[in-house]
Amino acid sequence: MSLFAFRQPAWPRPRLAARLRGGLMAGAALVGGLPGTALAVGDGPGCNPVLFPRPCSPVCTSPTCRHAPAPPPPQPVYGDLLPKYFVITVIYAPPGTQGGKSASSVTYASSSTTGTTTTVAHSFQQDYALELDNAVSFGATGEANLSFTYGVSNTDTHAFEISKSASAKIEYQGNSKDGIDHDRDQIYLWLNPAIRVGITPAASLLAFTGSEPMDIQYLYVGQLNGHTPPSPGVMQALQRYGITAADFPDILKHDPLAAGSATFDPARFAPLGTTIPYTPPFAAADPVPVITYSVSSGQTASSTQKTEDSYKVGLKISAGADFLGLAKSKLVNTDSWEWTNTVSLTNTGGASESASVSIGGPSFGWTGSTDLAVYYDRIYKTFAFRLLDAAPLAVAGLLRGKDGQPVAAAEVSMVANGVRLGTFTNAKGEFRFTGPVSGAATIKAGSVSQTLPRTGNVTGVVLQQH
């Protein structure tokens, strides 16, 4: 369990009120003229009698044409919306090693924001404005030395971004089972989100408030699907905010890999084009081989696909009767709230997310796949792992050093049809590329390269360092 806290200024915030007043004054032009515009209420020459004020016409020259300013806009009323929870991110388990000797891990540090971008547009019947300080941070008060920040999205002024701060680090170790166990995936929840809303008949403005410490809790997929019960302390934390086991199936849906699916949605999961050997040790008494390297979202191909994770949660409203009356005309439903965690990538040249990954092999005797692929979750800015059970062989070979001996844990790349693929040599210096690759290719390891006239089930390639 991890506990986080942040505080915000007292309400109503001056910027929130000022923006509401400004929007309402502009809105007055639509119904009665700009503030201060002269209004004709007389019946002199050129002016017909009217029942309601209207802008003075230039032909209205009667001395009885009286002028009056537009009425002041109504003052906003404030209330707090309390959604049941918010999904911050999903951390995917790295592969493990039977017997609890796993050397695998994934570390999200200064080069990773590990969070998401969200909108609430589907919760409102009409447009709204989002008010957030540029970078409001909330830090850990519990054992996990973490902090998060949030602010208005740089690409969508109706969305906010919540992310891990650069100084924080999330490190997740591999488990005690060979292969990938998605029961160990973690889903991070914000248990007590609170949104202060100022509304009038013409405008709505949102801002996040922190009248109470922010409470973040992660749950394992194995706890959500009933394979193992949450600890009493975790259940007490959830129940404080009305979250029960009845909510678990909906929370579980945010991890599409929870059921062990071999299919990765290409709109959400972008392949990095790199495979890592997941090979057992040579002998039972040998140590498990380990490869450590940095994975980056910049390794993914450019994409214009938009994907989202939209979900509804229960909603409570803390406000007076005047706010509740207006809220019914503003909100789609006063009993539920819809979050939409989303991302739209038009290229990979922007801010790149990266993590340090160490992959240790399985235990001696492992008979499963030895090719591990890495994917980037575009919505939650984390990395997922997949064993390639049925991937066709493209090229297999051996890397030798200057002394003629095999070189282990060395990076090898292959470019075919303009697409770059990467892998690492195993403990025996062997490398292999899998997938539907065709045509000529260039293979490179350090300063050594070799061009192949074709790919597709090609074996026996030898790269010799000089």
| pLDDT at residue 160, as a whole number | 81
Looking at every residue in the chain, the average pLDDT score rounds to 79
Query: b or e along 197-218 (b: 16 or more beta carbons within 10 Å of the residue's beta carbon)?
Result: bbbbebbbbbbbbbeeebbbbb
Q: How far apart are CA 73 and CA 90, in angstroms?
A: 45
Q: What is the pLDDT of residues 10-66, one digit of tens each?
A: 444 555 555 545 543 433 332 233 333 333 344 444 444 443 344 555 555 555 555
For residue 339, is it within any domain?
A: yes
CATH at residue 410: 2.60.40.10
Number of domains in the chain: 2
Q: Worst-scoring range by mean pLDDT, 158-167, 223-232, 308-317, 402-411?
A: 158-167
Confidence (pTM): 0.78
Are 413 and 337 in the same domain? no
* List of residues 6+ apart from 55 with CB closer than 8 A: 33, 37, 38, 39, 40
Query: b or e along 121-130 (b: 16 or more beta carbons within 10 Å of the residue's beta carbon)?
Result: eebbeeebbb
Q: How far apart are CA 364 and CA 281, in angstroms?
A: 6
More confident residue, 248 or 434: 248
Q: How far apart are CA 350 and CA 356, in angstroms?
A: 20
Q: How far apart are CA 196 and CA 11, in angstroms?
A: 8
More confident residue, 165 or 282: 282
Distances from the Cα of 20 to the Cα of 8, 209, 260, 322, angstroms = 19, 17, 48, 17
Distances from the Cα of 177 to the Cα of 66, 139, 362, 411, angstroms = 85, 34, 8, 26
Are 324 and 440 in the same domain? no
Are 298 and 402 in the same domain? no
Q: How far apart are CA 144 and CA 133, in angstroms?
A: 25
Percent helix, strand and coil across the chain, each to the nearest 5? 10, 40, 50
Are 201 and 318 in the same domain? yes
* List of residues 6+ apart from 104 with CB closer than 8 A: 94, 95, 96, 97, 173, 174, 290, 358, 359, 360
Segment holding 193, helix H or strand E = none
Q: What is the pLDDT of residues 106-152, one digit of tens each?
A: 999 877 888 888 888 888 887 666 555 444 444 433 334 466 676 77
More confident residue, 428 or 7: 428
For residue 42, is it within any domain?
A: no
Q: How far apart are CA 74 and CA 173, in angstroms?
A: 56
Q: Worst-scoring range by mean pLDDT, 145-154, 317-326, 369-378?
A: 145-154
Q: Worst-scoring range by mean pLDDT, 131-140, 355-364, 398-407, 452-461?
A: 131-140
Are 286 and 201 in the same domain? yes
More confident residue, 243 or 290: 243
Are 224 and 302 in the same domain? yes
Are 285 and 193 in the same domain? yes
Burial of 391 (0-12, 13-18, 19+ CB in 10 A): middle
Burial of 104 (0-12, 13-18, 19+ CB in 10 A): buried
Are 281 and 407 in the same domain? no
Of 340, 360, 380, at which residue does a domain stop? Answer: 360
Is the pLDDT at 438 greater than 80? The verdict is: yes
For residue 161, is it within any domain?
A: yes
Are 305 and 432 in the same domain? no
For residue 109, is it within any domain?
A: yes
How many percent of the chain have pLDDT more than 70? 75
Q: What is the pLDDT of residues 182-192, one digit of tens each?
A: 999 999 998 98
* Residue 228: domain span: 4-14+77-360
For residue 196, is it within any domain?
A: yes
| pLDDT at residue 338, as a whole number | 94
Of 386, 299, 297, 389, nearest to 343 by C-alpha is 297
Q: How far apart are CA 424 and CA 422, in angstroms?
A: 7
For residue 94, is it within any domain?
A: yes
Q: What is the pLDDT of residues 208-237, one digit of tens each?
A: 765 667 788 999 999 999 999 999 999 999
Of 421, 423, 411, 460, nearest to 441 by C-alpha is 421
Are 296 and 441 in the same domain? no
Of 342, 360, 378, at which residue does a domain stop? Answer: 360
For residue 259, is it within any domain?
A: yes
Work out the average pLDDT over 349-363: 81
Work out the average pLDDT over 422-441: 89
Of 341, 360, 379, at which residue does a domain stop? Answer: 360
More confident residue, 207 or 437: 437
Are 413 and 328 in the same domain? no
Distances from the Cα of 292 to the Cα of 334, 361, 411, 425, 451, angstroms = 50, 12, 10, 12, 27
For residue 67, is it within any domain?
A: no
Q: What is the pLDDT of residues 21-34, one digit of tens each?
A: 554 343 333 223 33
